[in-house]
Amino acid sequence: MPLRSDWSAATCPIAHAADVLADPWVLVILRELFSGRSRFDELRQATGAADSVLSRRLRRLIEVGLIERRETGGYLLTDAGARALPILHAYARFTRAADPEGPWGLTILCARCAAPAEASDWCPSCGAPLDAWTTLWARRSMGGLPFALAVPAGEVVRAGAAVRAGAAVPAGAAVPAGEVVRAGAAVPAGAVPAADAPAHDSPRDPA
């Protein structure tokens, strides 16, 4: 059963993309996949989606080629899915512009120069394009440290150095403030002030 009216045949590229992406659940699922959460139970907890809601969106995202199942379980963004990143950034930018003093918990950073690069597809500081491989996020709900996004195979560019996406942070290693951590890596104990670390996000919690 379609989730809504079918716009898949639209020849307007905006309407065509909206057929898949104009759905809050899809957007927060993509947010969590970029953040390194890949398994069904992780996605369910982070989004607050009911099983049926999450299952239908994941099926749809696979159908349209934005994600794929991993052989080892869980879901991964495809290259096409990674191209949805500027759309998420546009939502964040819209929100911050409408309410600059809001309690927004997601910060977007350029991986090349480490400057905040809110919600655009290029870095206003160093002029480099921003994509899923050259962008860092910091989320209050995930400890506030910048992390490389979980992207299809490739290298994440960080402040002039290339960091292999998925390179593990050694277990128990101290991660100083400002250090980039692998998407989804555990934040060291004590690094997260309890008040800033809700147990999980909800669709209404953009942190």
Interface ranges with Zn ion (CB under 5 A): 110, 112-113, 123, 125-126
At residue 94's C-alpha, the angle toward residues 61 and 80, to 5°, is 25
Q: Cβ closer to Zn ion: 58 or 117?
A: 117
Measured from the CB of residue 117, what is the shortest distance to Zn ion in angstroms? Answer: 6
Measured from the CB of residue 124, what is the shortest distance to Zn ion in angstroms? Answer: 8
Q: Cβ closer to Zn ion: 28 or 110?
A: 110
Measured from the CB of residue 125, what is the shortest distance to Zn ion in angstroms? Answer: 5
Q: Cβ closer to Zn ion: 120 or 125?
A: 125
Residue 171: other Cβ atoms inside 10 A: 8
Measured from the CB of residue 180, what is the shortest distance to Zn ion in angstroms? Answer: 14
Q: Cβ closer to Zn ion: 88 or 114?
A: 114
At residue 98's C-alpha, the angle toward residues 93 and 100, to 5°, is 80
In a 3-state reduction of DSSP, which class is residue 23?
coil
Is residue 150 within 8 Å of residue 36, measured between CB atoms?
A: yes
